[in-house]
A and B are shown apart, each in its own frame.
Chain A
Amino acid sequence: MAKQLMKGNEAIGEAAITAGCRHFFGYPITPQNELPQYMSRRMPQVDGVFLQAESEVSAINMVYGAAGAGARVMTSSSSPGISLKQEGISYIAGAELPCVIVNIIRGGPGLGGIQPAQSDYLQATKGGGHGDYRLIVFGPASVQEMVDMTMEAFDIADYYRAPVLILGDGVLGQMMEPVEFNKPKSRELKPKDWATTGAAGRGPNIINSLAMQPEKLEEHNWRLQEKYKQIKENEQRFELYNCDDAELVLVAYGTTSRIVKSAVNQLREHGIKAGLLRPISLWPFPEKAFAQLPDSVKAFLAVEMSAGQMVEDVRLTVNGARPVEFFGRTGGMIPSPTEIIEKAKAVLGGDR
């Protein structure tokens, strides 16, 4: 298929349709509105369902119902809306239902602003809703990656019977880039014989997250943890850029990683051995990437559009072996290569 110029939010919509998604439930919120708008136009053309819910709470519960009934289903929102969806996300995780959720992050807390941010990292990767659960979280850095990850996310969700979150930001949602839609190699997926489709010729199927007996609930929780262990083993993704001889490794994901890549190139021009470690899967956090780094690494610098959220995972992974510094902008401000370079030089010491 030829490349076409598309806006990030719309590209996600087309990717979902390419992946076989035929159900979308959403609610307007900036800066992700182009996605539900796109779906409202495209879904009827492919015999799919687009429904604008009365709230984010309702939208995610429609997703729960549709996923339980066997649909490939998606919803999208932005930060305050994702907070509202957390109740449903916890139920979806508890009931082990596959679906894809898109968060095009804006600055917070509260109503915040409508400019891009990465300040929902902790909410996305550490829980957000109640209970012992994890989301599989992918952080694309380009419109093409948004497309590829969205398409694969449906397979991954079905494979593990678990929700997958695409964590973008306002920049990625709004930017236009050339993309192509190449359907990824499909995983071998089991039939959804657990779905509620009417109990014809079989016993009833029940979609549920309630376990009143503590022994049963604990058993359920350990089983979920076992699944998360598998995901941690199989689904870590990352990119290492100029890390082979790096003395300073900058760690950044999504939009920020693109700016950091420029900063790394400029640092290299100044003779500073900088590299980029880009987490692509945010949960599971790509610990394996750190194991591949050379001994030459003296320090890490996490760069984020937040007050410092992913840096906690970097520190946990580095576990005191090297210093981990942080540089961030918040509130919708985007870090510039210049300020990243200044910070990088400061981390390596004043003699540079």
Chain B
Amino acid sequence: MKKVFDRPQAMTEKQMHYCPGCTHGIIHRLLAEAIDELNVREKTIGVAPVGCAVLAYEYFNCDMQQAAHGRAPAVATGIKRTNPDNVVFTYQGDGDLASIGCAEIVHAAARGEKISTIFVNNAIYGMTGGQMAPTTLVGQTTTTSPYGRDSSHVGYPIQVSEMLATLQGAVYVARVSVHDVPHILKAKKAIKKALEIQIKGLGFSIVEVLSTCPTNWGKTPLDSLEWLQQNMLEYYPLGEYRTPEEGK
């Protein structure tokens, strides 16, 4: 019998802990497939965040370092500056990257650090139980914005891709989504491109991936995909915000 579909080499067989309907599993797989296709598994070093993906080091079949909350870009910088020939990625959620680790990601991007960041934006803190994130939409209810996010009180959600695209060192900035198959395929392309840009030594690359959190959104997996499309896509438009061509 011909095998037509298999687990990527860059993934372990470990069963993931993610909630049903969460798209972390899909995003992990896309990154692993890209690593396989570029044939760089044996030179890849990943950095796991604090947050839902804290155990990412158990799922990727490559060298991994686990970082303190928000510090993954700094840790990745230390790794890359030590081993410039390795492919180094960070995998970070929105609390990790856009809140406590805002300085680290901005400066890694500004330095043009030759690393790639996969930034998973589900507009909420997942692991700590559904608190407001810097990416929580205005009006969105969370456990720490029980009356809905009030912009007059806590301001506005940060559009990370738009912000980082203003930096010269950020060579590739793209926002994708994984709410349906065509978008998943586009997300895969962007992730692979981000790694390729790193391998070519062009500078910093980041792919923001819009993701779901059925547990903390209080929705079924299917309703969550629906909610993402109806609410997140408008405030977080998809597309390539910066490419190497523009950077020239």
Contact = CB atoms under 8 A, between A and B. Distances in A.
22 contacts: A23-B78, A54-B103, A58-B107, A61-B71, A61-B104, A62-B81, A65-B77, A65-B82, A66-B82, A68-B65, A69-B65, A69-B79, A70-B83, A88-B68, A91-B67, A197-B83, A197-B86, A199-B42, A205-B64, A206-B57, A207-B64, A208-B66
Interface string A149-182: 0000000000000000000000000000000000
B68 A51 contact: no
Interface in A61-113: 61-71, 73, 87-88, 91, 95
A25 B63 contact: no
B78 A65 contact: yes
Given A65-B78, A91-B68, A197-B86, 10 more contacts: A57-B71, A58-B71, A61-B75, A65-B47, A65-B75, A196-B45, A204-B61, A204-B62, A208-B65, A208-B66
A206 B81 contact: no
Nearest to B50: A210
A199 B78 contact: no
B41 interface: yes
B42 A200 contact: yes
A25 B83 CA distance: 15
A69 B46 CA distance: 11
Interface in B42-98: 42-45, 47, 54-55, 57, 60-68, 71, 74-83, 86
A62 B108 CA distance: 11
Contacts of A209: 66
Which size bracket describes the interface of B in this complex?
20 to 34
A49 interface: yes
B232 to A, nearest CB: 29
A199 B63 CA distance: 6
Given A65-B65, A206-B66, A58 B74 contact: yes
Nearest to B67: A61
Contacts of A59: 74
A198 interface: yes
Given A87-B68, A210-B66, A62 B77 contact: yes
A201 interface: yes
Contacts of A71: 78, 82
A55 interface: yes
Contact of A25 (B47, B57, B78, B80): B78
Contact of A73 (B71, B78, B106): B78
Interface string A23-66: 10100000000000000000000000101011101110111111
A186 to B, nearest CB: 21
A63 B75 CA distance: 7
Interface residues of A, number: 39
Contact of B41 (A55, A66, A67, A199): A199
Given A196-B65, A201-B42, A66 B79 contact: yes
Nearest to A65: B78
Contacts of A55: 103
Contacts of A87: 68, 71
A71 B47 CA distance: 17
Nearest to B69: A87
Contacts of A67: 78
Contact of B81 (A58, A61, A66, A95): A66
Interface in B1-59: 41-45, 47, 54-55, 57
Interface of B: 41-45, 47, 54-55, 57, 60-68, 71, 74-83, 86, 103-104, 106-107
A87 to B, nearest CB: 6
Contacts of B81: 23, 49, 51, 62, 66
A206 B64 contact: yes
B247 to A, nearest CB: 21
A202 to B, nearest CB: 9
Which residue of A61, A71, A95, A200 has the most chain B CB atoms within 10 A of its CB atom? Answer: A61
A65, A95, A209: most-surrounded residue (chain B CB, <10 A): A65
Nearest to B48: A208
Most buried by A among B43, B55, B77, B107: B77
Given A61-B74, A68-B65, A198 B83 contact: yes
B188 to A, nearest CB: 23
B54 A210 contact: yes
Given A58-B104, A61-B104, A205 B63 contact: yes
A208 B106 CA distance: 24
Contact of B43 (A63, A70, A198): A198
Contacts of B83: 69-70, 196-198
A87 B70 CA distance: 12
A65 B57 contact: no
A200 B44 CA distance: 9
A133 to B, nearest CB: 14
A198 B62 contact: yes
A72 to B, nearest CB: 10
A195 to B, nearest CB: 8
Contacts of B63: 196-199, 204-206
Most buried by B among A25, A66, A68: A68
A350 B63 CA distance: 68
Contacts of A62: 74-75, 77-78, 81
A58 B63 CA distance: 21
